[in-house]
Homo-oligomer: A and B are copies of this chain.
Amino acid sequence: MQVKSESVNKKDQNRENILKIAREIFSKYGFKKTTLDDIASAVRKGKSSLYYYFKSKEDLFHAVIMKEVEILAYELEIVINRNTDPVDKLRDYILTKLATFRGLANFYHAIENDVTAVGFIEEIKIRYEQDEIRMIKRILIEGVRKNEFEIYDFNLAAIGITTAIKGLEMPLTAGTYGEVNLERTVDIILKIMCYGIMKR
């Protein structure tokens, strides 16, 4: 009998490799234009071999996106745990998320409406909204503890900021390709959020 852990390792290794290559191809051509043959021949396997690792094209795509999201989560975790000024932290958080999202958007940068892909990404957005609010809240609480922010309702504030970030993501996932200079826009929004619009 083969040792389970070894064979699992081998399989997982193959799976990872397929994911890595599939990621490249999906990000280049989008979900619809990428065929299983493209991926299979890129990993030098028969097309049917892919079904040993993933139960469908959608499944594979889903796995690719999920991995991307994991990476994003990991990067955000790092940003959050850095010992920086709360405002900078907020800024870094937003910029990191946007950068990764710009990449994610590639996955369905197709001309036609790639319904499946859009569906996946929308689904992910919804699923992770709660996490996002929680993270933002942590930043806000830290800001108050450091005596930099003055916030009365953390939940509302976090929801507000999360919503603002969603607004920033829009031009990425929608078709607005004209370089909007995101960094500048982020700074402007940050300024508004930090100093408020009221004269004092």
Residues of A within 8 A of B (CB): 25, 29, 33, 37-38, 41-42, 111-112
Contacts of A41 in B (CB 8 A): 111-112
Contacts of A38 in B (CB 8 A): 111-112
| Central interface residue in A29, A38, A111, A112, by most chain B CB within 10 Å | A111
A38 closest partner in B (C-beta): B111
CA distance A38 to B32 in the complex (A): 12
A42 closest partner in B (C-beta): B111
Contacts of A29 in B (CB 8 A): 29, 33
CA distance A38 to B37 in the complex (A): 21
CA distance A111 to B111 in the complex (A): 20
Contacts of A112 in B (CB 8 A): 37-38, 41
Q: Beyond A37-B112, A42-B111, list 7 extra A-B contacts (CB 8 Å).
A: A25-B111, A29-B29, A33-B33, A38-B111, A38-B112, A41-B111, A41-B112
A110 closest partner in B (C-beta): B38
A33 closest partner in B (C-beta): B33
CB distance from A106 to the nearest CB of B (A): 12
Contacts of A37 in B (CB 8 A): 112
A24 closest partner in B (C-beta): B111
A-B contact pairs, 10 of them (CB 8 A): A25-B111, A29-B29, A29-B33, A33-B33, A37-B112, A38-B111, A38-B112, A41-B111, A41-B112, A42-B111
The 7 A-B residue pairs with the shortest CB-CB distance in the complex, in nearest-first order: A33-B33, A38-B111, A42-B111, A29-B33, A29-B29, A41-B111, A41-B112
CA distance A38 to B29 in the complex (A): 13
